[in-house]
Amino acid sequence: MTDISFSPTFKHVAWVDNRDRVAASGQNGFNVRFDSIQKDLETLSKVVGAIDAGLKAAGQRPTVERKLTLAPAFVPVEGDPPWSLDPYGVATRKDGTRPNVRGIMNVTLPDGVILRRLRATGRNTSTGTLLVSLLRIPLADSSNLETVVQVSCSGGPFGEPQEVPADRNRVDMGTYRYFIDANVDNAPAGTSFEILSIQISYLGI
């Protein structure tokens, strides 16, 4: 921020009894004096505004994009075959003969931040569908499940992030619980899936 300064232009010249006459015009008249005072006050108002803006800016921390990277430690879901973790912490399809795999994982996000993107990295050697979703559910209403953002992980290596829609991007931990769902559907026998990581980008301080 540039230096802020104020240099008044009004210089008072004292009147002398019995010599100076009160006048509106002229070099020492009221008009000239009050015009100079008015200009000084207008300049001072701008300086005060600049000081106020500077103080507010100094009291705010910059918003930056941060990333929360999660290991894919999915909890099994009743009725679906589970994901399995290999020795390197990679989630894999445990039974290659089963067409479906599913697991969920709770996520604790900083309250009030703005979500930007969801990214899942890994490999899909199948023609089956692998969907990785960030979901939220009201704390007092388990029937109102909502998808915040979803990544479709197609055949081969995957890792492209998906933008979070603006109408669902603000985290509200006082209202919702958030979790990740990783769901494989209609995978042919003998094919494999691997999820290396889940990453959530958000704007925070």
Q: Show the tokens assigned to 166.
A: 């603006």
**What percent of the chain stands above pLDDT 70?**
96
| Domain 64-204 top-level CATH class | mainly beta
Domain boundaries, the chain: 1-60, 64-204
Q: Which amino acid is at 124?
A: N
Model pLDDT, residue 2: 64
pTM confidence score = 0.70
- Residues 175-184: what's their mean pLDDT? 97
Q: Across 2-6, 42-46, 149-153, which has the greatest mean pLDDT?
A: 149-153
Task: Kindly tell me if the per-residue pLDDT of 160 is higher than 80.
Answer: yes
- Strands in 75-76's sheet, in edge-to-edge order, are 75-76, 101-107, 176-185, 129-138, 146-152
Model pLDDT, residue 200: 98
82-138 pLDDT per residue, tens: 999 999 999 998 777 788 999 999 999 999 999 999 999 999 988 888 999 999 999
Angstrom distances, CA of residue 161 to CA of 29, 98, 118, 140, 164: 72, 28, 5, 31, 9
184-203 pLDDT per residue, tens: 998 888 888 999 999 999 99
Q: Which helix (H) or strand (E) holds 54?
A: helix 30-58
Q: Show the tokens assigned to 129.
A: 């569908």
Q: Residue 98's beta-bridge partner residues?
A: none
Residue 54: what are its φ and ψ, rounded to 5°? -65, -40
Q: Show the tokens assigned to 57.
A: 């800016």
- Residues 45-52: what's their mean pLDDT? 85
Q: Is 202 exposed, middle or buried (0-12, 13-18, 19+ CB in 10 A)?
A: buried
